[in-house]
């Protein structure tokens, strides 16, 4: 507000007039830039946000002051000028000032057809947009005639009981008032807020002298841009229509000219070569001086070119990356500016297929968008069916009430996953993101009829096993049928942008990767190591599940050890492969975390299978499964508690890690593995496990004769571990905050069940966001801060990071930078967006320091 004092409410745009986008809007400021570049812009007056606010309240500015620069009998247009052009605004109104007298004059100068068409267009827009009359009686006739004009004027009088206003000042005043009020309407407000506009965003208006585009001599109007809005490639695009105004050229079915030579029809390049050359020069000038790809609206009036407006080219996500990189490569903008211009969310989209946004969507249900990308496939209801479908090379969509570790192979086989239950950190969501598999969770309006092998949609429609559906994990939609998809766009521009980002970034980005395929993805996306390898997922592979079950059913330590001895070489192979792929980079391996019962079959047929496999009576299997069941397994015997109860498990894992270290170091750079202990809540746990792991390391060194180092650390995911971080850090070289469990335990909120009421909670602003999705800086963040400070007090060089699902999000990265964490770790497919977000935050800070 204070700022506006330096500016006049009504400003004639000249090269030196005092103007600002935050006072007059982006369009007005851009027009001033075009004028400064000596482009033929018709006379234009800008009204500030403050002036428009007053108009909306009924306080009209001095109309004579606005009209003065346009001379006698002007014809004018009014266009909106919001601060950010993407926030929209009311539609432009052209030909203000048309009345019976001007009409008679134009018949003489332009001919009857042109004059009638201009008058008709003005009455139509005035009636519909300003007087808000029903559009029906105001359709433009195919041929503009005197009779049709009279009929439209009569219709206006009939509808309003007033003759059509003849005074240009009155017409302009009403146009300004209606546009000012439209900006305050609820729909306009909601639409712009959805695009990020603040609640009090202002609207400026620009009043411009009309270049007519109709009449005798060469006249017409068109739009030109110099880049493809879908791909970002440099090419001229647009249309020109003789005897037209505004953007007519883009909407007519036929008659418009191409701009460049085109086999499909005549072009401006051939028919009006000088105009074409001028436009091309203006395009280059805009790109270089406005440092942006602009779309130019132009009019030719009696052979004379006028530039009416230039707006930033609307662009696809893919094009936004290409354009930013091309501008920097051509040295139009510096590389840090290119990095700042791309929204990190866009990158995640480019890594995956997407539903083509122009196609119609037949939505079955909407759930939580848990892993981006889209896939088409046939419905299956079990992991086995998913594998069978993959074996037939038929893409399928796995639909489950919720997934468990047992479904992992089915998930690998599926093209996408949908669950009825769950939230953003539930099993399906975490695995989906890790695999880059589109995933929608918490689609709670969907009913799975298991017996009937069908889905029942909220609108009653039924979808059977084998029916084709589309999962859009980016929006959370499940769609009927096979929607058209767009391919991912990992081109050179994408890689270049990220290389530049890395030059500015000041926090590490690692990936959460459980399998060699994940590790390869992490490497491809240039993650700086693995921040979390969840080893339990390795035990669901092949015949390992059977061995795990044998181990769980072992009665004695010796029996358990025998099974672990068989698992050891497999586990060693897993780690050796990871080390090999990540050679030279740190790999942080988390020892076994989940409760054992997750490895046991959940239903009767599974129990029967297990009884056969273990040669045990069914009753014994039932009894053991029963004995292992816990009321609250997520708070039960899992993580380090399991590690201390059955120490042979962690011993085996440590041995596998060390033997793989020796193996991998023989064929490449020395590997320094990191071993991380989950679900710690007391220092003594860390101390006890460390003593055993040190002993295993000693044995492997002695057996192999090879020296190696390892780093030992703790996953801080219980509130107590954060509070006691000072003691714990004495035994831990690093602390990695597991914000999934830490959020669950800080809120006392089940990460697998919160999906049921989360949207109601967020809608009612009980929580501003889903805390499993957006790091709760106020609460969980407080524990992170405390944990980091106390951890550093215990060990000044302790390495700090977060590895929960929040790790890839901008707000969490912002938080971690501010707390001087060393790195964040996130799903491999989120690594590019995390690299870009981290760079943008560093650049913003550096710019703020310069100010």
Query: What are the residue numbers of the active site?
Result: 427, 803
The residues facing 824 across adjacent strands are 509, 802
Q: Is 461 annotated as a binding residue?
A: no
Judged by CB under 6 A, the residue of 79, 121, 318, 534 near ligand PEP is 534
Q: Does 738 bind ligand PEP (CB under 6 A)?
A: yes
Q: What φ, ψ does residue 363 adopt, rounded to 5°?
A: -80, 130
Smallest CA-to-CA distance from 481 within 388, 383, 374, 572 is with 374
Residue 520 CB, nearest distance to ligand PEP (Å)? 21
| From the list Mg ion, ligand PEP, none, partner contacted by residue 518 (C-beta under 5 to 8 A by kind) | none
Q: Is 73 annotated as a binding residue?
A: no
Residue 778 CB, nearest distance to ligand PEP (Å)? 18
Distance CA 385, CA 396 (A): 9
**Candidates 294-302, 397-405, 717-725, 833-841; binding stretch for Mg ion (CB under 5 A):** 717-725
| From the list Mg ion, ligand PEP, none, partner contacted by residue 428 (C-beta under 5 to 8 A by kind) | none
Distance CA 488, CA 682 (A): 46
| From the list Mg ion, ligand PEP, none, partner contacted by residue 835 (C-beta under 5 to 8 A by kind) | none
| From the list ligand PEP, Mg ion, none, partner contacted by residue 366 (C-beta under 5 to 8 A by kind) | none
Angle between helices 831-850 and 810-818 (to 10 degrees): 50
Q: Is 590 annotated as a binding residue?
A: yes
> CA separation (Å) from 282 to 14, 49, 320, 539, 556?
18, 29, 22, 64, 83
Judged by CB under 6 A, the residue of 407, 514, 651, 717 near ligand PEP is 717
Q: Does 367 bind Mg ion (CB under 5 A)?
A: no
CB atoms within 10 A of CB 458: 14
Separation of first and last alpha carbons in the chain: 21
The answer for residues whose C-beta is within 8 angstroms of residue 438's C-beta and 6 or more apart is 352, 353, 371, 372, 373, 374, 375, 415, 416, 417, 432, 471, 472, 473, 474
Residue 532 CB, nearest distance to ligand PEP (Å)? 6
Which CB sits closer to ligand PEP, 651 or 741?
741
DSSP result, 104-125: HHHHHHH-HHHHHHHHHHHHHH
Distance CA 547, CA 549 (A): 5
- DSSP state letter for 633: G
Quote the tokens at residue 558.
Answer: 């010796």
> CA separation (Å) from 331 to 71, 282, 324, 338?
43, 18, 11, 10
Residue 741 CB, nearest distance to Mg ion (Å)? 4
Question: Which regions of 488-630 does DSSP assign to beta strands (E)?
Answer: 508-512, 530-534, 587-590
Which CB sits closer to ligand PEP, 106 or 430?
430
Angle between helices 647-666 and 683-704 (to 10 degrees): 40
Q: Is 301 annotated as a binding residue?
A: no
Residue 717 CB, nearest distance to Mg ion (Å)? 5
| From the list ligand PEP, Mg ion, none, partner contacted by residue 713 (C-beta under 5 to 8 A by kind) | none
Q: What φ, ψ does residue 79 adopt, rounded to 5°?
A: -125, 150
Q: Does 801 bind ligand PEP (CB under 6 A)?
A: no
Q: Map the footprint of ligand PEP across residues 426-465, applying CB under 6 A.
A: 430
Which CB sits closer to ligand PEP, 433 or 505?
433
Q: Map the footprint of Mg ion across residues 726-765, applying CB under 5 A.
A: 738, 741
Which CB sits closer to ligand PEP, 153 or 635?
635
Quote the tokens at residue 402.
Answer: 């919720």
How many amino acids of this chain bind ligand PEP (CB under 6 A)? 11
**Candidates 196-204, 232-240, 712-720, 773-781; binding stretch for Mg ion (CB under 5 A):** 712-720
Q: Is 738 annotated as a binding residue?
A: yes
| From the list Mg ion, ligand PEP, none, partner contacted by residue 534 (C-beta under 5 to 8 A by kind) | ligand PEP
Residue 426 CB, nearest distance to ligand PEP (Å)? 10
Residue 736 CB, nearest distance to Mg ion (Å)? 10
Q: Is 524 annotated as a binding residue?
A: no
Q: Is 82 exposed, middle or buried (0-12, 13-18, 19+ CB in 10 A)?
A: buried
Residue 791 CB, nearest distance to ligand PEP (Å)? 16
| From the list ligand PEP, Mg ion, none, partner contacted by residue 535 (C-beta under 5 to 8 A by kind) | none
CB atoms within 10 A of CB 394: 13
Q: Does 267 bind ligand PEP (CB under 6 A)?
A: no
**Candidates 305-313, 598-606, 738-746, 757-765; binding stretch for ligand PEP (CB under 6 A):** 738-746
Residue 259 CB, nearest distance to Mg ion (Å)? 57
Which CB sits closer to Mg ion, 26 or 738?
738
Distance CA 737, CA 734 (A): 10
Which CB sits closer to ligand PEP, 309 or 593?
593
Which CB sits closer to Mg ion, 219 or 740?
740
User: Dmax over Cα atoms in the chain, in whole Å?
Assistant: 108
How many amino acids of this chain bind Mg ion (CB under 5 A)? 3
Which CB sits closer to Mg ion, 225 or 425?
425
Which CB sits closer to ligand PEP, 309 or 741?
741
Q: Does 739 bind ligand PEP (CB under 6 A)?
A: yes
Q: Is 740 annotated as a binding residue?
A: yes
CA angle, residues 793, 674, 584, in degrees to nearest 5: 120
Q: Is 605 exposed, middle or buried (0-12, 13-18, 19+ CB in 10 A)?
A: exposed
Distance CA 688, CA 484 (A): 56
Which CB sits closer to ligand PEP, 483 or 802?
802
Cα dihedral 156/158/161/166 (nearest 10): 30
DSSP result, 425-443: TSHHHHHHHHHT--EEE--
Distance CA 51, CA 46 (A): 10
Q: Between 573 and 612, how does the x/- string for binding to ligand PEP read (CB under 6 A)?
A: --------------------x-------------------
Q: Map the footprint of Mg ion across residues 810-839, applying CB under 5 A.
A: none
Q: Does 741 bind ligand PEP (CB under 6 A)?
A: yes
**Candidates 525-533, 552-560, 710-718, 787-795; binding stretch for Mg ion (CB under 5 A):** 710-718
| From the list Mg ion, ligand PEP, none, partner contacted by residue 721 (C-beta under 5 to 8 A by kind) | none
CB atoms within 10 A of CB 630: 13
Q: Does 740 bind ligand PEP (CB under 6 A)?
A: yes
CB atoms within 10 A of CB 820: 11
Which CB sits closer to Mg ion, 348 or 425?
425
The answer for residues whose C-beta is within 8 angstroms of residue 205's C-beta and 6 or more apart is 46, 47, 52, 78, 79, 80, 81, 176, 179, 180
Quote the tokens at residue 459.
Answer: 């609108």
Q: Does 803 bind ligand PEP (CB under 6 A)?
A: yes
Q: Does 28 bind ligand PEP (CB under 6 A)?
A: no
Residue 740 CB, nearest distance to ligand PEP (Å)? 3
Residue 512 CB, nearest distance to ligand PEP (Å)? 7
Specify binding-site residues for substrate. 534, 590, 717, 738-741
Specify binding-site residues for Mg(2+). 717, 741
- Residues forming the site for ligand PEP (CB under 6 A): 430, 532, 534, 593, 717, 738-741, 803-804
- Residues forming the site for Mg ion (CB under 5 A): 717, 738, 741
């Amino acid at each position: 507000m204070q700022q506006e004092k330096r500016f006049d409410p009504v400003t004639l745009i000249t090269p030196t007039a005092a103007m600002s986008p935050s006072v007059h809007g982006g369009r007005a400021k851009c027009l001033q830039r075009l004028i400064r570049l000596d482009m033929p812009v018709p006379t234009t007056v800008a009204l500030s946000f403050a002036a428009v606010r007053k108009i909306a309240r009924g306080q009209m500015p001095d109309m004579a002051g606005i009209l003065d620069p346009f001379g006698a009998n002007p014809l004018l247009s009014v266009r909106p000028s919001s601060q950010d052009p993407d926030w929209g605004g009311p539609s432009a109104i052209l030909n203000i000032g048309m009345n019976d007298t001007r009409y008679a004059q134009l018949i003489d100068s332009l001919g009857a057809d042109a004059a009638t068409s201009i008058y008709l267009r003005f009455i139509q827009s005035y009636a519909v947009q300003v007087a808000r009359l029903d559009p029906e009686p105001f359709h433009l006739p195919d041929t503009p005639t005197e009779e049709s004009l009279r009929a439209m004027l009569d219709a206006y009088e009939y509808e309003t009981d007033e003759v059509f206003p003849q005074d240009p000042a009155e017409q302009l005043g009403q146009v300004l008032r209606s546009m000012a009020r439209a900006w305050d309407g609820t729909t306009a407000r909601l639409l712009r807020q959805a695009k990020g506009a603040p609640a009090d965003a202002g609207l400026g208006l620009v009043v411009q002298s009309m270049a007519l585009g109709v009449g005798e001599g060469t006249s017409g109007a068109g739009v030109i841009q110099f880049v493809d809005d879908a791909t970002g490639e440099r090419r001229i695009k647009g249309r020109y229509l003789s005897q037209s105004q505004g953007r007519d050229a883009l909407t007519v079915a036929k008659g418009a000219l191409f701009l460049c030579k085109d086999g499909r029809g005549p072009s401006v390049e051939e028919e009006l070569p000088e105009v074409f050359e001028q436009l091309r020069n203006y395009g280059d000038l805009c790109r270089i001086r406005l440092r942006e790809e602009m779309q130019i609206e132009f009019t030719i009036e009696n052979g004379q070119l006028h530039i009416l407006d230039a707006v930033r080219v609307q662009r696809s996500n893919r094009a936004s990356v290409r354009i930013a990189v091309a501008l920097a490569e051509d040295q139009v903008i510096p590389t840090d500016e290119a990095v700042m211009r791309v929204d990190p969310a866009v990158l995640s989209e480019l890594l995956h297929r997407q539903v083509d946004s122009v196609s119609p969507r037949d939505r079955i249900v909407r759930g939580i968008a848990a892993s981006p990308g889209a896939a088409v496939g046939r419905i299956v209801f079990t992991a086995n069916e998913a594998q069978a479908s993959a074996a037939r090379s038929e893409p399928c969509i796995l639909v489950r009430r919720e997934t468990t570790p047992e479904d992992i192979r089915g998930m690998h086989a599926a093209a996408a996953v949908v669950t009825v239950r769950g939230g953003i950190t539930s099993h399906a969501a975490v695995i989906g993101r890790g695999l880059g598999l589109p995933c929608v969770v918490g689609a709670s309006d969907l009913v799975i009829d298991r017996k009937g092998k069908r889905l029942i949609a909220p609108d009653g429609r039924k979808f059977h096993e084998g029916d084709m559906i589309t999962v859009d994990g980016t929006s959370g939609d499940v769609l009927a049928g096979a929607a058209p998809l767009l391919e991912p766009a990992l081109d050179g521009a994408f890689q270049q942008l990220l290389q530049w980002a890395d030059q500015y970034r000041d926090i590490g980005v690692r990936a959460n990767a459980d399998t060699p395929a994940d590790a390869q993805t992490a490497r491809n996306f240039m993650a700086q190591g693995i921040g979390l390898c969840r080893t339990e997922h390795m035990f669901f592979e092949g015949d390992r599940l059977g061995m795990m079950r044998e181990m769980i059913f072992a009665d004695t330590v010796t029996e358990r050890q025998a099974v672990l001895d068989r698992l050891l070489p497999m586990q060693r192979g897993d780690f050796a492969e990871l080390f090999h792929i990540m050679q030279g980079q740190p790999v942080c391996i988390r020892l076994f975390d989940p409760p054992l019962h997750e490895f046991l079959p959940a239903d009767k047929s599974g129990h029967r299978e297990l009884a056969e496999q273990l040669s045990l009576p069914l009753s014994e299997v039932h009894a053991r499964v029963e004995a292992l069941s816990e009321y609250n397994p997520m708070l039960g015997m899992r993580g380090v508690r399991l590690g201390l109860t059955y120490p042979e498990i962690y011993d085996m894992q440590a041995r596998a890690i060390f033997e793989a270290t020796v193996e991998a170091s023989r064929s490449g750079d020395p590997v320094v593995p990191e071993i991380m202990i989950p679900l710690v809540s007391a220092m003594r746990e860390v101390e006890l496990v460390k003593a055993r792991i040190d002993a295993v390391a000693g044995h492997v060194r002695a057996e192999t004769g090879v020296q190696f180092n390892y780093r030992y650390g703790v996953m801080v995911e219980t509130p107590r571990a954060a509070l006691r971080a000072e003691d714990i850090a004495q035994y831990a070289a690093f602390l990695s905050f597991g914000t999934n469990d830490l959020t669950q335990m800080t809120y006392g909120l089940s990460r697998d069940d919160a999906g049921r009421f989360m949207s109601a909670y967020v809608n009612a602003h009980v929580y501003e966001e889903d805390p499993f999705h957006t790091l709760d800086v106020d609460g969980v963040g407080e524990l992170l801060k405390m944990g980091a400070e106390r951890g550093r007090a215990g060990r000044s060089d302790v390495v700090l990071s977060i590895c929960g699902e929040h790790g890839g999000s901008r707000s969490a990265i912002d938080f971690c930078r501010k707390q001087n964490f060393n790195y964040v770790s996130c799903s491999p497919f989120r690594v590019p967006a995390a690299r870009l977000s981290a760079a943008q935050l560093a650049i913003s800070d550096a710019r703020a320091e310069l100010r």
